[in-house]
Amino acid sequence: MSRFIQLHLLTFFPPANLNRDDTGRPKTAVVGGVTRLRLSSQALKRAWRTSPVFAAALADHMGQRTQRLGEEVLTYLTGKGMAADKALATARDIAGVFGKIKPEGARIEQLAFIAPEEKAAALELADKALAGEKIEAKKAGLLRTADTAADIALFGRMLADDPDYNREAAAQVAHAITTHKVVVEDDYYTAVDDLKTSAEDAGAGFLGEAAFGSGVFYLYLCIDTALLAKNLGGDSVLAKTAVRALIEAAATTAPRGKQNSFAAHGRAGYILAEKGDRQPRTLAGAFARPVKGEDLMAASVEALVDFRDAIDKAYNDGEPEPAAVMHVGKEGSLRAVLDFIGG
């Protein structure tokens, strides 16, 4: 497999509020002097790793991001008959390997990304405590520097209390931005009380406000396949499966913000997939000047292709790296892109 896999996706979303800021409005960024809609990389990665695509492709190879491992261990111990006070002390000891424990109970203060092997090892240690063995969780080797958790291998993790077991992310994901200027709009809506009688006033029972926006988003992501394989302990088959799952999820899965109100389940209209050993580069510069026109998708594709050609001419003597394209209604398919990447 080539060292770097780079994905450039253009996806149209109808009116939506997929990723909200602290005021409840769609996230934005000012690029090229104009406002663009933005989808944060955190929101995108969360949507992908919790998607049916990941669940189907990477069953049993997914970590858990949680504060509640200690509580699971506590429930396990008490369910097996251990006294409540001893079970709590044991659970706090085991969960404390993954982060600082809150003063009360067994919950970790921060979210910890825990691999399946690490959780299994924690429960095995609990079994030893149940058998009457004296345990020292910090010395039990619960943490791993490599494992089969594909999402941890792709997106990394940080353990502030034990940085030796941090995992550098093999996948770098940019914030997605619209290729053009946008205006965030406001929708005022009402709800009617079903039990209100005709003798009462005709007003609504509730008045609310929702902000939304629409546009063509450019998304860039880069996967370091060598680092991915290292994070997965050299399992090349699992690494290829993880890459395919990530690409399919990126093309088909959107963040879940306000989806019940907008049903903005967009799919990529254009994908450019590249693989090779050259230093990665984003093509976001294609949209430093916002595209315009009635067909924003076509204008965005044209700008992306032209900018890529210009970059290759300037830096690579006009020689692009091997690539595959899916352009809905014109050429290619997602399956062909996946097969190209996996070849």
Which of the pair, 119 or 189, is modelled with greater confidence?
A: 119
pLDDT at 247 over 80: yes
pLDDT at 161 over 90: no
pLDDT in tens, 300-333: 999 999 999 999 999 988 899 999 999 999 999 9
State the pLDDT at residue 343.
62
pLDDT in tens, 190-245: 788 887 777 777 677 777 888 999 999 999 999 999 999 999 999 999 999 999 99
What integer is the mean pLDDT of 143-161?
A: 93
Nearest alpha-carbon partner for 113 in 166, 73, 76, 41: 166
Within 13 Å, how many C-alpha atoms sit on residue 313's CB side?
6
Helix (H) or strand (E) holding 128: helix 116-130
Percent of the chain with pLDDT over 70: 99
Helix (H) or strand (E) holding 38: strand 34-39
Percent of the chain with pLDDT over 90: 90
CA distance 214 to 264: 10
pLDDT in tens, 90-126: 999 999 999 999 999 999 999 999 999 999 999 999 9
Contact 204, 266 (CB under 8 A): no
* Confidence category of residue 1, pLDDT binned at 50, 70, 90: low
Q: Tell me, what amino acid is at 198?
A: S
Helix (H) or strand (E) holding 212: strand 206-224
pLDDT in tens, 3-32: 999 999 999 999 999 999 999 999 999 999
